[in-house]
A and B are shown apart, each in its own frame.
Chain A
Amino acid sequence: MTRAPVVFVVDDDPSVRSSLKFLLSSVGLQVESFESAETFLQRKAPDAPSCLVLDVRLRGLSGLDFQRELAAREIRIPIVFVTGHGDIPMSVRAMKAGAIEFLTKPYRDQDLLDAVRIALERDRTRREQEKDLTDLQQRFDSLTPREQEVISKVVSGMLNKQIAGELGTAENTVKVHRSRAMEKMNAQSLADLVRMIEKLKGPAEKAS
């Protein structure tokens, strides 16, 4: 169950912070504002889709450095950069590092809101995916070792008979494991199951 999305605003200018908060809340978004990257980092990550509206020019850790820092900490929060001034190299760098958008002040309010929306959406999607994966993992973890074994062999295309032969059990036993596992995994079909297992293996496996 997803919570309501939160927008985090980091800007050292108080009027900008408050006005931004006002703007975003005017479209019904939750906003939390911070005056510096450090103060933001002190806040715990929320369990809701969120994004970051970040000025490049900050006191202390600059926006771009902050972007790097977040990546280093594996905090995958989407960032919308706004800046009072900016140059092309800066924007390119920010985008390459994964920012959603790079806006210069004064921006069109709609542009900002669009960017925020995209960011939130992305975050939500990510979270869902993560959650799915977590669920999947849980479901998988709930299988008995034998069931896991069976499933992995099923997914690799082996017949029940073959599986039984390898494991040294009866085909029937295999069938029972299989059906029980499919139930637990909530897979509707073999194709489903395959997809699920693929997901669980994750990008590392895919890469190899």
Chain B
Amino acid sequence: MSSASTSRANIPLEDSIPEAGASLESVLCTEELRGRPARPPNYEKENRALVVLMSALADSPSTIFQTLAETILDITQCDSAGLSLLTRDGKTPDGCGKRFYWPAIAGMWNPHVGGGTPRNFGPCGDVLDQNRTLLFRHFERRYPYLMPVIPAAEECLLVPFYVAGKAVGTIWGIMHSDRRKFDAEDDRVMASLGKFASSAYQALIHIEDLTFQVSEREKAEADVRELARGLEAKIRRLVEANVVGIVMWNLEGAITGGNEAFLRMVQYDREDLASGRVRWTDLTPAEWRGHDQRAVADLQATGIFQPFEKEYFRKDGNRVPVLLGGALFEKGGNEGVAFVLDLSEQKRAEDALRRSERRWQTAFENSAIGMMMRDCSDRFIASNSVFQNMLGYTESELSQLSNEDVTYQGDRRTNLELIRELLEGRRQHFQIEKRYRRKDGTLLWARNNVALIPGIADAAPFLFAVVEDITQRKQEESARHYSEERHRVVVETASDAVISLDESSAILLANPATTRIFGYDPAELIGKPLTMLMPEFLRKLHEAGFKRYLATGQRHINWQGTELIGLRKNGQEFPVEVSFGELSKDGHRVFTGFIRDISERKQAEEMRKQAQKAIQTMQAELARVSRLTTMGELAASIAHEVNQPLTAVNNNSNACLRLLANQNLQPDVLRRALEEIVADGTRASAIIARIRALIKKAPAEKNSLDVNEVIGEVLAMMGHGFEENRILLQSELAEALPPVLGDRVQLQQVLLNLIMNGVEAMTAIIDRPRLLWVQSRIDESGDVLIAVRDSGTGLGLEADRVFTPFFTTKANGMGMGLSISRSLIEGHGGRLWAAPNSPHGAVFSFTLPIAAGTPS
């Protein structure tokens, strides 16, 4: 239950019945009252006391209980007297209380004021239970909690009193000693005082109520006054603050008062106002009068008019836009007050905003780039014509579509992801390159910059996107990418080494061919200087040349192909052909080198040179031999060759003759000499025979020959001879000529002789083309026929005379060539003859029988 609370006397008031204690009967001695001799009543005192009580009740009701307690003490001449009142809170009387409290005590127990006893276990409770006066003797024997209340009560007389038939408390007197005992008189007096106590109780309660009511009302009135004062102050504050215009008016149109703010607004002064010249009906322009009338109607109906916008005329005639709202002071009255807000600024701001909006609108519409807005559910809110044209949709069509609808399938996921991030606040904006599907189904590449515009007030957030058509750029990119790819493939698959260098001549990249050619992995080369691929002696040259190029732009080698030496990883040096290119990339100079391993080419060149040399040697040899056959050298050669043995024969013979003349006969010597003579003679014969053989019938070697091949060899030997003599050579060689049996060199000699003759025949010709024509075919008799035509001076009348030995038309000639040639051909079983060529020149033809055994 409730916690114990202590009174000033430290008496605990317990709600629960304690366990110990004497019985009630043992502490009561009420019946003894009648038996005790009664004092003689002192009615005068009693009356006087009652009067005092009454006065006290009237004058000072709050102290009535104390007065009563003292009266009891005085009249009964006891030691302590007081009241017990039922209470709930221990301080105020309450008839429904569960406790008693002592609001007033006189006498020795005075210090215990405020204390009390429980209703259900105490003397006062007993009195109320039994509804009669009770006399206790040492009631602390029953109620141990009263033990501490000292001095102890020898006897206590308690009398109940009632309000509206209900007991509300007791009055009591206490003897602390047995000097006197309570008697019947005390009983009577107490009863009468008890009645007074009832009245006092009621009066007091009533007075308290009244007092409370009055004080309440007074308080309320004070509050209202306070409020009014405060309100007034505030209103005055507002008015004087001039943050808004305040104007007082009447319904007739007069303005009865206004603050500075108002006056400034309309540019009138106090005097104007005071004079009554300023009337709100006059201040209002004609077109706003309707509003005013409506406001007046509202005022009359409701006592207030809602804020509305209108304009006033200023004193200078200009207009000022205002917002005003107000009320009548009294409903149904004539006067009221209104606030007036100057809207000029606001109007200006509104105009500015409108202008700004218009600008944005114009920009939006006339932009060269697509712009659009969509709401957070991706629908198009707005778009400019550029965007609409990009996609091929009209604005209304777009408003039915979402961004996703028009986005190419493959790009949707990325796009949605980014939008989600945007909406979730993980980013402020994003950029995306994506494809749209136009209305006609084609695709368009676009670069979008999308931002989330946060919502303001009740405007929802939306997405704003700037859309750039990059289809062209994408195509170019893809083309360039493709081109780059092609180039990359070219470089990768090139059979030449392709190396990229930076400005310090360090290797940036090397293609696979580099590995094949140099033997290094690209990884071994990256970052290394180019010079590691060249032999030592070339490095300084390269470094110097490269440096000079960087500084001056001068090249020290031909960049379009220079032969240099390369150095392989295994140390081998080999010939290379190098080309360089330069390009600038991101502001840096990058050089590309193409390096071709030309070892094989060099070898081939070498072989060709050697072949050339061999041919030249052969040429020289053949020329020498041919000179032999044209007799220039042959004669000398014959002479020399034959002269040797002849000289020896002569020497030996003459020596022998001399010895014989000197009688110096040594048969051995002579014999030896003669033997030598014979030998030399034989040698001479052999030489002559050989020469004859060379010239005459039997060929030295007989092989199966392809005539066309021989012709080809002879023409090759002529080399630049035709060009040098400005002779046009034509050859008409039959295919699939059957082979002939013959001596290759001899046939070459004959052909060379005929061709040289033809060339020499044309040296003097200047007025017509110099044509030399070589033909090979099968003639009618099945032999192989070769003809050499020229457009030279011709044969004259003696066609066959040319074959006579020593016949020559050449200034330097010996005239042996053709006769020898004829002999050689006849030695092969063929014929050689000459005929005039038309219109100019001569034709020399010879035949050769085909090799036996060859099917004809």
Contacts and interface: CB of A to CB of B under 8 A. Distances in A.
Interface stretch (A103-111, A134-142, A181-189): A103-111
B640 A84 contact: yes
A109 B651 contact: yes
Contacts of A15: 644-645, 648, 676, 679-680, 683
A85 B640 contact: yes
Nearest to B679: A15
Given A106-B650, A109-B658, 18 more contacts: A16-B647, A16-B651, A18-B676, A19-B652, A19-B680, A20-B648, A22-B652, A22-B673, A23-B658, A25-B655, A26-B662, A82-B647, A84-B639, A84-B647, A105-B643, A106-B646, A106-B649, A109-B651
Looking at B643, B658, B683, which has the most chain A CB atoms within 10 Å of its CB?
B643
Contacts of A20: 647-648, 651
Contact of B644 (A16, A27, A104, A112): A16
- Of all A-B residue pairs in the complex, the 7 with the closest CB atoms, nearest first, are A109-B654, A84-B640, A19-B651, A19-B648, A26-B655, A105-B643, A15-B648
Looking at B643, B645, B648, B683, which has the most chain A CB atoms within 10 Å of its CB?
B648
Contacts of A23: 651-652, 654-655, 658
Contacts of A112: 651
B651 A84 contact: no
Contacts of A22: 651-652, 655, 673, 676
B661 to A, nearest CB: 9
A109 B650 contact: yes
Interface of B: 636, 639-641, 643-652, 654-656, 658-659, 662, 664, 673, 676, 679-680, 683
B643 A85 contact: yes
A13 interface: yes
Contacts of B640: 57, 84-85
Contacts of B656: 26
A1 to B, nearest CB: 26
A22 B122 CA distance: 197
A16 B655 contact: no
Nearest to B636: A85
11 contacts: A13-B644, A15-B645, A15-B680, A16-B651, A20-B647, A22-B655, A23-B655, A23-B658, A26-B654, A105-B647, A106-B643
A13 B648 contact: yes
Contacts of A26: 654-656, 658-659, 662, 664
B234 to A, nearest CB: 144
B97 to A, nearest CB: 168
Contacts of A110: 654
Interface in A1-42: 13, 15-16, 18-20, 22-23, 25-27
B648 A18 contact: yes
Secondary structure of the A side of the interface?
Answer: helix
Nearest to B656: A26
Given A26-B659, A109-B654, A19 B647 contact: yes
A91 to B, nearest CB: 14
A189 to B, nearest CB: 46
Contacts of B673: 22
A79 B680 CA distance: 26
A16 B648 contact: yes
A17 to B, nearest CB: 9
B623 to A, nearest CB: 20
Contacts of B652: 19, 22-23
Contact of A85 (B639, B646, B649): B639
A112 B653 CA distance: 14
Contacts of A25: 655
Contacts of B636: 85
Contacts of A109: 650-651, 654-655, 658
B688 to A, nearest CB: 14
Contacts of A13: 644, 648
Contacts of B680: 15, 19
A22 B671 CA distance: 12
A87 to B, nearest CB: 9
Nearest to A57: B640
Contacts of A27: 658
A19 B676 contact: yes
A109 B647 CA distance: 9
Interface string A85-117: 100000000000000000011110110100000
Contacts of A57: 640
Contacts of B659: 26
B295 to A, nearest CB: 145
A109 B662 CA distance: 16
A27 B651 CA distance: 12
Contact of A84 (B644, B649, B662): B644
Given A19-B676, A23-B651, A84-B639, A105 B658 contact: no
Nearest to A22: B655
A25 B656 CA distance: 11
B669 to A, nearest CB: 8
A84 B645 contact: no
Given A15-B679, A19-B649, A84 B643 contact: yes
A179 B662 CA distance: 53
A110 B651 CA distance: 10
Contacts of A84: 639-641, 643-644, 647
A107 B649 CA distance: 11
Given A19-B680, A84-B640, A85-B643, A107 B658 contact: no
Looking at A13, A25, A26, which has the most chain B CB atoms within 10 Å of its CB?
A26
A152 to B, nearest CB: 53
Contacts of A18: 648, 676
A84 B643 CA distance: 6
A200 B644 CA distance: 47
Nearest to A56: B640
Nearest to B654: A109
Interface string A59-70: 000000000000
Nearest to B647: A105
Nearest to A110: B654
B617 to A, nearest CB: 19
Contacts of B641: 84
A132 B809 CA distance: 63
A82 to B, nearest CB: 8
A19 to B, nearest CB: 4
A26 B663 CA distance: 11
A64 to B, nearest CB: 15
Contacts of B646: 105-106
Contacts of B645: 15
Contacts of B658: 23, 26-27, 109
Nearest to B638: A85
B643 to A, nearest CB: 4
A16 B659 CA distance: 18
A26 B664 CA distance: 9
B161 to A, nearest CB: 182
Nearest to A12: B644
Given A15-B680, A19-B680, A85-B639, A105 B644 contact: yes
A23 B655 CA distance: 4
Contacts of B676: 15, 18-19, 22
A46 to B, nearest CB: 23
Nearest to B661: A26
B249 to A, nearest CB: 149
A177 to B, nearest CB: 57
A13 B643 CA distance: 11
A171 B640 CA distance: 74
B655 A19 contact: yes
Contacts of B683: 15
B665 to A, nearest CB: 12
Contacts of B639: 84-85
A26 B655 CA distance: 6
Contacts of B643: 84-85, 104-106
A106 B684 CA distance: 13
Looking at B649, B650, B651, which has the most chain A CB atoms within 10 Å of its CB?
B651
Nearest to A15: B648
